[in-house]
Amino acid sequence: MKEYNFFLGCIAPNRYPGIEASAVKTSRKFDIELRDFKGASCCPAPGAFGSMDVNAWLALGARNICLSEKEGKDIALICNGCYKSLFEANHRLKADPAMREKVNSILANIDYEFQGSVEVRHLIDILYNDVGTEKVKESVEVPLTGVNVAIHYGCHLLKPKFDRTFGSSERPRFFDELVEALGATSIDYKEKMMCCGAGGGVRSYKMDLALDIANEKLYNMTQAGADVIVDVCPFCHLQLDRGQVEIKEKFGDVYDLPVLHYNQLLGLAQGMNPDELGLDAHEISVEPLLAKIM
């Protein structure tokens, strides 16, 4: 059994606990234990914090990594924003001695030192590259046959490609393969790789413009006949789920398109019941989807 320190971030534990719960439960089926990560904080939010001070952003990210280094555990996470903060901090501080020195001089004030002794992995990367689509397929009890999934990769999982391991960000396939492994269909839709609009602090700075981007995506997904949106980022998740309510208020456009994090979809396919996956906590009702599956 492989153990990871489970880095939660903010939105999953504090807005969509179902994402947190489903990640832990579904991973156990693959002998992966996501253990409590004591004392972790916000990653911190790359858009907001990086924008104010990159060194503070790196230092706060490094603080989280150091906590895990002390326990000698690799980090697993389920949020693209956290992935940007922690993966890049880890990767850059390992690669660039000067930057490492600078950040460690900041950490010295709290008697921490970045060692570069652990890895930071996104759970979707672990599922695809370590577990593999075959094992994922084997774990399916309720095949999601006939479900049209509009996949949203999210930006910080793939980009910048020079600072990632997934290759070109134009036409990735691995997420699609993981969804298809559950029996569902990954549908192509216009501007599939487009941002959800929330990042960079824009959702809090200019909500209307952030929602305008989400609106375009939601429209394209609906046009392509999506039954559900599936993401791997609680912040994109919030933008696309709660965003639909806000879009309804602000622009009057209605989609009622259910939004699931991949681990929640995986949970359904593994036969877990919707409540233990926290689906009832979503703004947009998941019922139409459940009806289609059951």
Partner 1 sequence: MASEGMRDPKHYQLGKTQFDPDLIKEVVALGGKNAQMCYQCGTCTASCPMGQRSGLRVRTVMRKANLGMREVLDDPDLWLCTTCYTCSDRCPRRIMATDAIIALRNIATREKKVPMSMIKIMGAISKTGHGVPNNEANMKNRVKVGLPENPPTTHTYPEYIKDINKILEVTGLLKIREEMEAESQ
Partner 2 sequence: MDEEKRIGVFICHCGTNIAGVIDVKELAEYAKTLPNVAHAEDYTYVCSTPGQTMIKDRIKEHNLNGTVVAACSPRLHEPTFRKATEEGGVNQFLFSMANIREQDTWVHMEEPEKALQKAKDVVRMEVARASMLEPLTPKTVPVEKAALVIGAGIAGIQASLELADAGIKTYLVEKEPSIGGMMSRLDKTFPTLDCSQCILTPKMVDVERNPNIELMTYSEVDDISGYIGNFDVTIREKSRYVYEDKCNGCGKCQEVCPVSRPNEFDLGLQPRKAAYVPFPQAVPLKFTIDMDSCIKCDLCKGQEACGDLEAIDFDKPDKLTTVKVGTIIVATGFDMYDVERKEEWGYKVFDNVVTGIEFERLIGASGPTGGNVVRPSDGQKPKSVGFVLCAGSRDQDEEDGAKPYCSRVCCMYSLKHAHQLIEKIPGCVPYLFYMDIRSFGKAYEEFYYRIQNEGGKFIRGRVARITEDPVTKNLTITAEDTLLGTPLEMEVDLVVLANAVVPAESTQKLKTLLTLSNSPDGWLLEAHPKLNPMSTTTDGVFLAGMCQGPRDIPDVVAHAAAAAAAASIPIHKGSVTLEPIYAIVDQEHCGGCATCIGVCPYGATELNEVDGKLVASVNEAKCKGCGTCGSACPSGAIKMQHFTNEQIMSEIEAFAQGW
| Partner in contact with 278, chosen from partner 1, partner 2, none, beta carbon below 5 to 8 Å by kind | partner 1
Residues forming the site for partner 2 (CB under 8 A): 161-162, 168, 170-171, 188, 190
| CB nearer partner 2, residue 170 or residue 249 | 170
The torsion of the CA quartet 123, 128, 131, 135, rounded to 10 degrees, works out to 120
Q: Which of 28, 51, 95, 141 binds partner 1 (CB under 8 A)?
A: 51
Site residues for partner 1, 111-130, by CB under 8 A, read 112
Structure tokens at 53: 């001070």
- What count of other Cβ atoms lies within 10 Å of the Cβ of residue 196? 26
Number of residues that bind partner 1 (CB under 8 A): 70
| Partner in contact with 96, chosen from partner 1, partner 2, none, beta carbon below 5 to 8 Å by kind | none
Q: Which of 100, 121, 152, 156 binds partner 1 (CB under 8 A)?
A: 156
The CA distance from 249 to 253, in Å, is: 8
| Partner in contact with 155, chosen from partner 1, partner 2, none, beta carbon below 5 to 8 Å by kind | partner 1
CB of 68 within 8 A of CB of 37? yes
Nearest Cα to Cα of residue 87 among 153, 159, 175:
159
CB of 274 within 8 A of CB of 268? yes
CB of 77 within 8 A of CB of 7? yes
Instruction: Give the shortest CB-137-to-partner 1 separation in angstroms.
Output: 25
3-class DSSP state of 249: helix
Nearest Cα to Cα of residue 24 among 7, 40, 38, 45:
7
**Binding-site string for partner 1 from residue 261 to residue 280, where x marks contact by CB under 8 A and - marks none:** --------------xxxx-x
Site residues, partner 1 (CB under 8 A): 8, 10-11, 13-15, 17-18, 20-21, 36-42, 44-56, 59-60, 63, 106-107, 109-110, 112, 155-156, 159-162, 168-170, 191, 193-195, 197-202, 204-206, 209-210, 212-213, 275-278, 280-281
